[in-house]
Amino acid sequence: MKIAIYSPNWIGDAVLALPFIQVIKEKNPKAEIIIICKEWVSDVYKNNPSISEIIPLANYQIKGFFSTLKTGRKLRNKKLDICYTLTDSMRSAFVLWLSNSKFRYGYADQMRSFLLTNAISQPRQKIHRSRKYLGLIESDNYSLILPKINLSDKEITWAENELKNIGLDKPIALLPFSISKNRTLDNFLIKKWIEKSDRQYIIFGSKDDVKKADQLINYCQGVTIISICGEYSLRKSIQILSQCEYALAADSGLGHISAALGLPTLSFFGAGDSQVTAPIGENTGLIKHCSPCEGTHCNKSNKGRYCLTEISSSYIDYSLKNIIKS
């Protein structure tokens, strides 16, 4: 039997889909589990023992009607038996309908129910996104499964050697950037926390974050802090991140990855809703005040977003002690 899972499109959501994939494999141990995903999230799924095949899709393959039609028809060659879509988009349901699989599961949304053989009603109450994915199957006994990103011994060895080449040894990971300005950590907050530190820090991010990382480094003179923003693929960044001592993270995909690696991860929530999208892991902590924001303008501070600027260093240290094992 072949089971296809259409992945969420964002890195953090892809991480939160890992428990769902694990449960599907446990329920169908002899089945081939095939992940259909945007190419930029495919690194999340590599080396996962539950997954038989990953089909990464470039933007051009699902941009426009005819490209989507071609992609969906190609999936027919896979002779899929069951499909699940973890996104609520019409496009994902259309692709799975084109695959001609016998059973297609997803949430009823965007008037796409006619494309699904099993359209599930959306949850009435607010629930965590990982739990929402599990709601597509009978999964009441699986609510405590944590996401886990798997690395090979070769990948771990490479990361250890790469950190040595960079000149770092068990640095503290800074994951301050997010796709939303209302979720990005403020430079002042980070400077206030590390300005007298003798520890080593490493900044992770994309090519779009290079300038912001350089600004942060200039802002934190006298501190050993290195940026690798945009220098490595996502998979290589995951490997390096796994060798850090702990992470300070914005509400971002990298924050979810850090938690799924088992790294002690302290996440700061501004505009995001932690009840829905908080990272989940063995050693995770949250700092939130009025999250989610009531609007784009913060009424609690004249310096910007209160939740991401007015937090004391002592409170950050206290929160870290609760998640870092001695």
pLDDT tens digits for range 65-101: 888 888 998 999 999 999 999 999 999 999 999 999 9
Residue 269 to residue 251: CA distance in whole angstroms? 6
Rounded to 5 degrees, φ, ψ at 38 are -65, 145
Does the pTM surpass 0.75? The reply is: yes
pLDDT tens digits for range 124-143: 889 999 999 999 997 666 56
**302-311: buried (b, 16+ CB within 10 Å) or exposed (e) per residue?**
eebbbbbbbb
Dihedral, CA of residue 302, residue 303, residue 307 and residue 313, to nearest 10: -130
CA–CA distance from 55 to each of 61, 73, 176, 234 (Å)? 11, 14, 30, 17
Residue 243 to residue 74: CA distance in whole angstroms? 39
Both tokens of residue 179?
Answer: 């796709």
Give the closest residue to 183 by CA, choosing from 299, 126, 267, 103.
267
Average pLDDT, the chain: 90
- CA-based torsion, 153, 159, 160, 165: positive or negative: positive
pLDDT tens digits for range 237-296: 999 999 999 999 999 999 999 999 999 999 998 777 888 999 999 999 998 866 566 555
pLDDT tens digits for range 196-230: 788 999 999 999 999 999 999 999 888 999 999 99
Structural domains of the chain in order of their starting residue, each with its CATH number: 2-137 (3.40.50.2000), 153-321 (3.40.50.2000)
**214-240: buried (b, 16+ CB within 10 Å) or exposed (e) per residue?**
eebbeebeebebebbbeeeebebbbbb
Both tokens of residue 23?
Answer: 């449960």
Largest Cα–Cα separation, the chain: 62
Across the beta sheet with 2-6, what order do the strands follow? 53-57, 32-38, 2-6, 82-85, 103-107, 118-120
- CA-based torsion, 233, 40, 22, 129: positive or negative: positive
